[in-house]
A = this chain, B = another copy of it.
Amino acid sequence: MAKFSAIKEHVYNKIASGEWPENHPVSSENALASQFKVSRMTARRALQELADEGIVIRTKGSGTFVAPIKSQTSFMAIRNIADEIRSRQHDYASQVHVLRRQVASELIAEMLNIAAGDEVYLSVISHFENDLPVQVEERYVNPKLAPDYLKQDYHSLTPHEYLCEVQPLTEASHQIEAVAPSQQLCQWLHLSKPEPCLRIHRRTWSAKGVVTYAVLTHPGSRFSLGGHLQF
């Protein structure tokens, strides 16, 4: 692992563990440089990247401090589909189609920021609302960040829940598109004939890197995404 990454992790752990609360001062560039026996430029890079990620705030002449927690005004919160369905007073169920390790294609490797040909974990799960599938979740997981992913029972716990436990998420990006479903997807979604589907591609990061890439496909007739913004 690169030296600056090790320093980032060290600082992040102090914050995540609660040892350094909000606004607590972070070790200075010089302090980290001598502690880790690196040049100041290397220590600096670690702190700079944490600042870019919003984890830390730097003030010229004053120092580096743990950033206050952001207000929850996100347009699209990362929601757990099981909770979502249960909050509508409906029954939730799931069906696991695939749960195995496989070799990363080029696309998947790029999404997870690993090398093509490396091993990844893959799960494909249908999520049911009142006995009708509303989502097929195709999920690729970085084995280094969740080594026990394949050992979980995804009937009692969603992959999202498990991953949040072992790798608290710090960042996510989404891509939303409309697609025609494959024949396989039609089966999994219990669609007798193809209909437009809403597809969400979601990459999620923890402090240690990209944890997972998920492709979530929903039948257009059974799903829509909502959001609210205030200015």
Contacts and interface: CB of A to CB of B under 8 A. Distances in A.
Interface in A186-231: 195-199, 218, 220, 223-231
Instruction: Give the number of copies in the complex.
Output: 2
**In which size bucket is the chain A interface?**
35 or more
Nearest to A217: B178
Most chain B beta-carbon neighbours within 10 Å: one of A53, A195, A220: A220
A214 to B, nearest CB: 14
A52 interface: yes
Contact of A230 (B170, B223, B230): B170
Interface string A166-177: 000111111111
A70 B231 contact: yes
Contact of A226 (B53, B78, B174): B174
Interface in A125-166: none
A108 to B, nearest CB: 18
A72 interface: yes
A54 B196 contact: no
Contacts of A199: 178
A179 interface: yes
A212 to B, nearest CB: 15
Given A177-B220, A180-B196, A196-B196, A78 B229 contact: yes
